[in-house]
Each structure stands twice: as C-alpha cells, then as structure tokens.
Amino acid sequence: MNLASIRIITGDVDRLAAFYEAVTGTTAIRPAPVFAEIRTTSGTLAVASTATVALLGDDAPRPGRNDSIIIEFLVTDVDAEFARLQELLDDVVLEPTTMPWGNRSTLFRDPDGNLVNLFSRPAGG
C-alpha cells in the first residue's frame, strides 16, 4: 500500500491551489474545475471543492475546520523559503526557528486556516 495523497476540502479551489502553487513552486494539475493536485516527488497534495464530497452528506468534511493536521514540506533552506513567501503569508504562527530536536521550521496558516510547516533537518539528519 502506498499513500497517494492528502486532500484538503475547500470552498475556493482556485485560491487554495494558487497558494500551494506559490508555496511549492509547482503548477497544479487541474483535471476539473473542482479539483487540483500539487504533485511533488514524494507525494501529492490535492485540493478539492466541497462538491467532490457531497455524496457523504452530513459526514462530509467541512472547509476551515482542521485543528489536528499539519501539512509539512521538507525544504533545503527554511529561512530562504520564508523570505520568499513572506508577502503571501497572512498568518505566521512561527517564524524560522531551530526546534529542540534540531529541525529548522517555520509554520503558517494557508488561506483556509490549515497549518503548514516548512522544515529542514539538521546536517547529517
């Protein structure tokens, strides 16, 4: 079994796909207006409209309600990525910081409020 993707349900696919295109520097694949995929070498982040889960009725995920997941991207230089993205970020949770376990991280929220972590591992880690 292989993890195929993580999917974020949103009320605005265009806005969220554009945000993650800017974060990753990767153009989203858009097979339909209600769906986008940001494909990286290690995994896929999917962005989908609420219409894609309508068949689930009351059990469907609701946009902007995530308080338990962090979307993480491994980067070479956290400080450079933070500087590149700073104008795009409305909600910075943690400016670039070296964590007690050695990772360098910055955390911010995407336009739907999902927490995003850009991190790098210590040399040799």
Residue spans in the chain of domains classed CATH 3.10.180.10: 65-125
Q: Residues 80-115: pLDDT tens digits?
A: 999 999 999 999 999 999 999 999 999 999 999 999
Tokens matching residue 95: 């400016």
Give the class (CATH, top level) of 1-58.
alpha beta
Q: Is the pLDDT of residue 75 over 70?
A: yes
Tally of CB atoms within 10 A around 49: 20
How large is the average pLDDT for residues 41-53? 95
CATH topology of domain 65-125: 2,3-Dihydroxybiphenyl 1,2-Dioxygenase; domain 1 (3.10.180)
Question: pTM (2 decimals)?
Answer: 0.92
Summarize the chain as % helix, strand, coil (round to 5). Answer: 25, 35, 40
Residue spans in the chain of domains classed CATH 3.30.720.120: 1-58
Residue 74 belongs to what H/E stretch?
Answer: strand 70-74
Which residue has 């850009």 as its token pair? 118
**Residues paired with residue 119 on neighbouring β-strands, in sequence order:** 74, 105
Confidence band, pLDDT 50/70/90 cuts, at residue 38: very high
Q: Is the pLDDT of residue 125 over 80?
A: no
